[in-house]
Chain A
């Protein structure tokens, strides 16, 4: 991938993140922080690739830690976000 294409991706992603959040009500700040915390759990796939290509013992150990932590980020982030959002109900809905 050319360096400039990466730069374009960085630039567009930065604007996207800014736009997606800019209209969020305060009521959702905590779940949204938790939700974005979950989204960067995608680091798990990078950790898997790093461990998958590790050839020496130090690389394997650190790669193992990377996958372990990445999985923790993704799963933990999902569980707490889902638990919080599950409770948001309107009085107009059936409960």
Chain B
């Protein structure tokens, strides 16, 4: 097919557009790190993406335009449709899914390049380390692809079981060594087609095997890790294709994603190696050794509403249980009633209050809660001591004082919200069971704690009614 533009002009325009796209991506990410400018950030990055994609059609010497446009149209429309429809509570698995697609795309690019090596056409760009980077990108991208799909299945609830079997790490280690040997073969010499297929099959398998033993609670860290890995894979394939936009965007995401993974792991009191190589929330951690004293004391929602209304300062501690019950809109309504009555209300968000750090902020924002009422753990923890009521809704482990007191507890050392320091603590909870991690919550047995049993939405409704009539 005829080139769209003269070759020299096309090359110049493509390079200039990729340069512009790289600037817009970095600038967009920078703007996304503050709530007020965040939306503008994603818009600018989006413009960069459109510019880079459109100009790529002018790349000289290309054919298969019909296939290309069809693939973009089908992939784009499907992603648009699913992205617009997904509920805010399900955002984490959608990020995993789209991320897996990116990893798969990088791996497929590598597969095309390696097929060219196999047929004797050679890489698009033969240079020092180009083959090694192609193979490395293929490996990382494929693992990110299959791993992300498993993460998606787990968060979507399609795969509830945690698969662990003896010598799992040893098996993974052996497969990984085999994979490296195959990869070395692909990067060095002429290779049989079988080696190419075996390489990708094995990489897919490793991604699956790495992810299936990891419990749902740790999944955010894993998704973040795969996000960083996809970035790296994209950066490496960008080198193979001599595409600076891919190199810069990929490596920026690779390093930003690595840092974000560490921040998340730290917020959850887990180390990355713990997440990847040890079980959690699987029951093999053992329970708390500390004797629980006292008993749980129930309170009627109407009485709780009365105390809330006459309080000066209330801190609401939402957990994922609130989002499951879809109670965030009711809670915002309750907050508005209380504010009208002159109560100072703020929200305290633990980094792992949602299904990943920051997820709860998104859910509250969806309900209409302005972000300046919402505080991070470090900013609000000192204020519980002069707070009249801490209202805990659907949160459990993140307010468990065992993390401060009980050295034998699996969550010991995890930063928690000090809700127990408030004068009164109301806990809205479905029933008397333990939390996500199966650990007994000492907060529920404190003298200043009252339990408000019931569905979060029903209780919130009763609290609103009570507060209005008070």
For window 107-128 of B, CB contacts with A under 8 Å fall at 108-109, 111-113, 115-116, 119, 121, 124, 127-128
- Name the contact of A28 in the complex, choosing from B35, B239, B245 (C-beta under 8 A): B35
Give the CA-CA distance A26 to B59 in the complex, in Å: 41
- Name the contact of A71 in the complex, choosing from B75, B116, B373 (C-beta under 8 A): B75
Assess the A20–B256 pair: CB atoms within 8 A.
yes
Assuming A42-B249, A76-B80, is B101 touching A70 (CB within 8 A)? yes
Query: Inside 8 A of B97's CB, which chain A residues have their CB?
Result: 76
Query: Inside 8 A of A60's CB, which chain B residues have their CB?
Result: 64, 67
Assuming A40-B231, A67-B72, A76-B83, is B247 touching A9 (CB within 8 A)? yes
Query: How many chain A residues touch the partner (CB < 8 A)?
Result: 84
Assess the A39–B25 pair: CB atoms within 8 A.
yes
Query: How many chain B residues touch the partner (CB < 8 A)?
Result: 123
Assess the B80–A39 pair: CB atoms within 8 A.
no
- Mask for B226-264, Cβ within 8 A of A = 1, else 0? 010011001101110111111111111111110110011
B389, CB-defined interface residue at 8 Å: no
B362, CB-defined interface residue at 8 Å: yes
Give the CA-CA distance A62 to B376 in the complex, in Å: 45
Assess the B98–A76 pair: CB atoms within 8 A.
yes
Give the CA-CA distance A82 to B250 in the complex, in Å: 20
Q: Identify the closest chain A residue to B267 (Cβ).
A: A26
For window 49-91 of A, CB contacts with B under 8 Å fall at 49-56, 58-60, 62-91
> How near does chain B come to A84, taking the closest CB pair, in angstroms?
5
Assess the A79–B84 pair: CB atoms within 8 A.
yes
- Name the contact of B104 in the complex, choosing from A18, A55, A69 (C-beta under 8 A): A69
Assess the A30–B108 pair: CB atoms within 8 A.
no
Q: Which residues of A contact B (CB under 8 A)?
A: 1, 3, 6, 9-10, 13-18, 20-56, 58-60, 62-93, 95
**Interface contacts beyond A20-B29, A31-B358, A46-B243: sample of 15 additional A-B pairs, CB < 8 Å, sorted by A:** A17-B255, A29-B263, A29-B357, A30-B91, A35-B29, A39-B252, A40-B230, A42-B52, A43-B105, A53-B124, A56-B119, A71-B74, A78-B83, A92-B372, A95-B368
